[in-house]
Chain A
């Protein structure tokens, strides 16, 4: 790993410049990214809730680690470290040459994929993205030496914090480490299953409700956006379905220029620089790029097929947001940009020209996506929670047990205190120390998409009752004891009969009285998930044992 100090420093500079205000005091709340001071380790985080395990095991990991580090510091680390790892990892993949390494670092850290995933709050995808180059390196080392690197199981765990990123990491691990021989395949498959076991097991337990709305495939299909049609946008690593998280610079001419520059550098790299890429990494890099781009193009071109799969095959809804698979294309894109830049620079006759063009190559991702700087131009700046939130959380701790429902019953909010109305998944659903039932139906383009959580459906039905007494009774039957109503401008909240326990600025807490028992996971589910978590932790133990063996082997040499 010699020669990685400079790229690591450069990656850190870029990560800090990109995140900007996100690293300030407070929490980054953007779309799916909702961090709170102390996340509750509840049934949902453990895969035992009624909803699909979309945040398993990521929520459980956060709930445990924030006990030691606090939610705010942990979020900063989760935002910075993967970007630095992605940059230095790309530099490690690209082969020799300072220019190649720095350019690969720039492209890996500063690109539309990182920007779009950060804006939409898919932090486990970014953690997997940061781990990806290191999975390729460790897998290739395992194939070359025949000895399992102790870091590989740890990387697989970190790269599998959600279902979609677990699939990306698994594809990369297979591409890098696969070799003929049943033992190798069994060992690799075993580790991949263990790394993904919590969400796999929970997903199987929820198989009855694990099909998704077919409409969603059309909505969540990858998209070009701006001047670039789909497949061309994917080549430069952009393609999210959500036009609201695409930066203005990406939608205009600069997006086209970035695609052209990357294509030119790639052609130079393929013609003159490919031999400089370490031999053991070439095939895995190409395999990942082909799989990542193919899946993205397939979900873009055939949303009907994706929709049919999502609505028919349990778990196939994972394929709906196909642009997440572009993470697989990023390592080769960065490597080709780096090698192409090295070829270009060395074709120049004098040191001054080489230095100037090297600087241009290192800076071009920033120049062509300038509004990504300083927290995506303030879009992901950290904010403080309103004071009443802490008061409400304290009040709830002193009240009798019971689940909470959050009204208005809508999944997303756009609070004025969050960067002037930045959309975010209702934060109170995660802020409070109780189980909070929130709406899981999403609204895209003003069109509601069916949710999957049966408990949310029960609450929805209860709230549709004609009067406040019947609504309260329906909620109690659904196991809800408390109603927390947020007063939002121009949004009506249905009246519900009950005692007002606390009234804070914009928040009313109502006690409905003793409710039906909260739905608990069957004992068989508990047993299955205990085994799943045991296996997942077991993989970390395997890593530790392997590390001890490595140490002993080195000591005896």
Chain B
């Protein structure tokens, strides 16, 4: 029984992670661009924000 479970779990984990990696990378590249942290309409350009 144990000899069957290990390959199944490893397929789920390894294969799942490989698919998730590919999907994550592709999705993050094709999703709508974020609002740029800088905005050209701000009189004082922020170096950053803590929140």
A444 contacts B by Cβ under 8 Å: yes
Name the distance in Å between A106's Cβ and chain B's nearest Cβ.
Answer: 11
**Residues of the B chain whose Cβ atoms lie less than 8 Å from the Cβ of A489:** 40-41
A413 touches B48 (CB 8 A): no
A446 touches B44 (CB 8 A): yes
Name the distance in Å between A118's Cβ and chain B's nearest Cβ.
Answer: 15
A31 touches B34 (CB 8 A): no
**Residues of the B chain whose Cβ atoms lie less than 8 Å from the Cβ of A363:** 17-18, 21
State the CA gap A74–B42 with chains docked (Å): 33
B40 touches A416 (CB 8 A): yes
Q: Nearest residue in B to A449 (C-beta to C-beta)?
A: B47
State the CA gap A489–B36 with chains docked (Å): 16
Per the 8 Å Cβ criterion, residues 20-34 of B in contact with A are 20-21, 24-25, 27-29, 33-34
Most chain A CB atoms below 10 A, which of B29, B39, B50: B50
**Residues of the A chain whose Cβ atoms lie less than 8 Å from the Cβ of B28:** 249, 370-371, 373, 377
State the CA gap A448–B27 with chains docked (Å): 37
State the CA gap A434–B5 with chains docked (Å): 70
Name the distance in Å between A61's Cβ and chain B's nearest Cβ.
Answer: 24
State the CA gap A445–B46 with chains docked (Å): 7
Known contacts being A349-B2, A421-B36, is A356 close to B15, with CB within 8 Å?
Answer: yes
Chain A: number of interface residues, binned into ranges: 35 or more
B50 touches A350 (CB 8 A): no
State the CA gap A366–B38 with chains docked (Å): 27
Name the distance in Å between A258's Cβ and chain B's nearest Cβ.
Answer: 12
B14 touches A360 (CB 8 A): yes
**Residues of the A chain whose Cβ atoms lie less than 8 Å from the Cβ of B15:** 356
**Residues of the B chain whose Cβ atoms lie less than 8 Å from the Cβ of A513:** none
A364 touches B17 (CB 8 A): yes
A209 contacts B by Cβ under 8 Å: no
Name the distance in Å between A77's Cβ and chain B's nearest Cβ.
Answer: 25
**Residues of the A chain whose Cβ atoms lie less than 8 Å from the Cβ of B48:** 31, 120, 241-245, 423, 444
Known contacts being A244-B37, A248-B34, A360-B17, is A443 close to B44, with CB within 8 Å?
Answer: yes
**Residues of the A chain whose Cβ atoms lie less than 8 Å from the Cβ of B11:** 356
**Residues of the B chain whose Cβ atoms lie less than 8 Å from the Cβ of A443:** 44-47
Known contacts being A378-B29, A412-B38, is A357 close to B10, with CB within 8 Å?
Answer: yes
Chain B: number of interface residues, binned into ranges: 35 or more
B29 touches A353 (CB 8 A): no
A415 contacts B by Cβ under 8 Å: yes
A411 contacts B by Cβ under 8 Å: yes
Q: Nearest residue in A to B6 (C-beta to C-beta)?
A: A353
A98 contacts B by Cβ under 8 Å: no
A410 contacts B by Cβ under 8 Å: yes
Known contacts being A366-B25, A367-B20, is A350 close to B7, with CB within 8 Å?
Answer: yes
**Residues of the A chain whose Cβ atoms lie less than 8 Å from the Cβ of B6:** 348-350, 353
Known contacts being A349-B3, A356-B10, is A421 close to B44, with CB within 8 Å?
Answer: no
Which of A364, A411, A419 is B47 in contact with, Cβ under 8 Å?
Answer: A411
Q: Nearest residue in B to A348 (C-beta to C-beta)?
A: B6
**Residues of the B chain whose Cβ atoms lie less than 8 Å from the Cβ of A445:** 46, 49-51
A352 touches B10 (CB 8 A): yes
Known contacts being A367-B17, A370-B24, is A446 close to B51, with CB within 8 Å?
Answer: no
A387 contacts B by Cβ under 8 Å: no
A490 touches B51 (CB 8 A): no
B47 touches A412 (CB 8 A): yes
Name the distance in Å between A501's Cβ and chain B's nearest Cβ.
Answer: 26
B13 touches A444 (CB 8 A): no
B43 touches A352 (CB 8 A): no
**Residues of the B chain whose Cβ atoms lie less than 8 Å from the Cβ of A515:** none
Name the distance in Å between B14's Cβ and chain A's nearest Cβ.
Answer: 3
Known contacts being A353-B7, A367-B21, A422-B38, is A242 close to B50, with CB within 8 Å?
Answer: yes
State the CA gap A448–B7 with chains docked (Å): 58
- A–B complex contacts, Cβ < 8 Å, 25 sampled: A120-B48, A243-B48, A243-B50, A244-B37, A244-B48, A249-B24, A352-B10, A353-B6, A354-B10, A355-B14, A357-B13, A363-B17, A366-B21, A367-B17, A370-B21, A371-B24, A373-B28, A411-B47, A412-B38, A412-B46, A414-B36, A422-B36, A423-B47, A445-B50, A445-B51
Contacts A422-B37, A443-B46 known; 8 new A-B pairs at CB < 8 A: A243-B51, A356-B14, A357-B14, A359-B18, A360-B16, A378-B33, A445-B46, A448-B44
